[in-house]
Amino acid sequence: MFATNTFCVTAILSLGTTLLDKQIITDVNAVVIMDAVVYFSQVAVYDFVSVPSYGKAIVAARNIFNIIKRKPPINNQSTDGDKIPNCTGHVDFKDVYFVYPTRRDSIILKKFNFTIKSGQKVALVGSSGSGKSTMIQLIERFYDPDFGQIFIDSKDIRSLDLQWYRSQISIVSQEPALFDTSIRENIAYGDNSRQDIPLEEIIEAAKNANIHDFIQQLPDGYETSCGAKGLRLSGGQKQRIAIARALLRNPKILLLDEATSALDSESEKIVQEALERAQENRTSITIAHRLSTVQNCDVIYVMHNGMIVEYGTHADLLARSGYYYRLIQGKLK
């Protein structure tokens, strides 16, 4: 294309020179015409080169507008539905099938049945890809099951006020998200349904998370800035602040998704003590690859390929020498 443009410009210059020699046009007209031809030929080249990008831009814009117009199946702002008086946190999965919308050919959970009694400490273990984190997302109602039902206190969670329902749940994940504000504000963010949360409540949550004594030693105490993404704090300190944040709303269900897996052994011990205290008097569900952190749970469910293959206490499962035993021995990948 550039060669064609060069040829056209050369041809116009040659023609202009010829017309000047024969005095058919004036020198001023020749300069104006040749400048215009050179300019528009360059514009045409750039436009031609941009044609593939133009097509991609049309497709990208169409996709953006489709996303903007799309109505998600779960309205995160919805306040319609029921509320459960004196919710106890009893969880039931009944014949649940689930596949992710973007991976319809891969079944994650298959006829999944699962029960957690109120106040019970439950652990989910299994190899990667067995469906543990998917269960957490279904409980949070980030997705709805394709088939089957999930119940809280015998009520289908799809019939509940979503804002109220999620206010009954707290989660502590592997890498906590702390903001570049004070420790007090980071903990207070755990209950965003209220403003101006009393400092006494924040301190009580910090004590339950085993982080209060550390905060008291800081020059600015609870007004100490955490830094961007909590960079001014160690991994264990960030995790305990995340636990305090989770406890502030006094959740009926506490979800722990690999909460200690990114910590060293010393920090893990301190955080594990805080987690043990946090799980008291509430339903808790723990996902862990470090099986030493779930040995004290009331029930351990072993998952494999989207199904529960074993469940029981730590001692019971070891005695069976099955999937759990092989996970302990590091033989099940």
Provide mean pLDDT across the span 315-323. Answer: 87
Place of tokens 């709303």: 249
Q: Let me know: does 117 contact 130? Beta carbons within 8 Å.
A: no
Which range among 137-146, 261-270, 291-300, 302-311 has the greatest average pLDDT? 137-146
Instruction: Kindly tell me the burial class for residue 143, based on how many C-beta atoms sit within 10 Å of its own C-beta (0-12, 13-18, 19 or more).
Output: middle
CATH number of 91-329: 3.40.50.300
pLDDT the model gives residue 14: 75
For residue range 210-247, list pLDDT tens digits in order. 888 889 998 889 898 888 888 888 888 888 888 899 88
Cα-based distances in Å from 33 to 1, 6, 327 = 22, 16, 81
pLDDT the model gives residue 332: 47
- If pLDDT is split at 50, 70 and 90, which confidence band does 2 have? low
Among the residue ranges 17-21, 120-124, 161-165, 201-205, the one predicted with the least confidence is: 17-21
**Domain boundaries along the sequence of the chain:** 2-69, 91-329
